[in-house]
A and B are shown apart, each in its own frame.
Chain A
Amino acid sequence: GAVVSQHPSRVICKSGTSVKIECRSLDFQATTMFWYRQFPKQSLMLMATSNEGSKATYEQGVEKDKFLINHASLTLSTLTVTSAHPEDSSFYICSAPSGGAHEQYFGPGTRLTVT
């Protein structure tokens, strides 16, 4: 199956700082990638759709100035959490569709803790 990686797997940062999370498709190209966040014991909530070469599409209620997305190449999308606050602490996961059926393959996730 298709492999998606994320870096870092865990990050702790201080309130007010920015954090960048990378999502890479390792063995396939992805013109679209998706970013989710997941709170403990809850399901995945789609934050935004990352589009290679164009602006990301954000879901309702997601602040695009706070969660900056850049899809710089066919294998890399980045999510930058700007001016992070403790309420931004969460599990962030990316995914990319692959294959004719367009099933999405997920990265291992990034645990963000803002102190």
Chain B
Amino acid sequence: EDQVTQSPEALRLQEGESSSLNCSYTVSGLRGLFWYRQDPGKGPEFLFTLYSAGEEKEKERLKATLTKKESFLHITAPKPEDSATYLCAVAPGGGNKLTFGTGTQLKVEL
């Protein structure tokens, strides 16, 4: 059974204070690992797809990395508008279904 564990559950940062979110996974043949951002009362917004160990992707203050067992979402010099819940999900080889982690609720304060 595919499993995704995210840590920490919640993270409070000061503006400009960089940090990382963790996503550990077990999956039957990884087709892709996905990061999403979800604001309260809204659907998840797609951020990144990672396919193989060693891959990295960046978007503004966010950088996602992947190893064979986990993925990190690095947030550099965060701003209050980066406050959201960040979700990690995996898709097994040959399938479209996503298994989600429980997310990390990030709050960035001035």
Contacts and interface: CB of A to CB of B under 8 A. Distances in A.
B91 interface: yes
Contacts of A1: 46
Given A43-B87, A102-B91, A103-B32, A108 B42 contact: yes
- Per DSSP, chain A at the interface is strand
Interface residues of B, number: 21
Nearest to A107: B43
B72 interface: no
Interface of B: 31-32, 34, 36, 41-46, 49, 87, 91, 96-103
Contact of A104 (B34, B41, B42, B102): B34
Interface of A: 1, 4, 6, 32, 34, 42-44, 46, 49, 91, 93, 95, 97, 101-109, 111
A101 B47 CA distance: 13
Contact of A103 (B34, B41, B87, B103): B34
A104 to B, nearest CB: 6
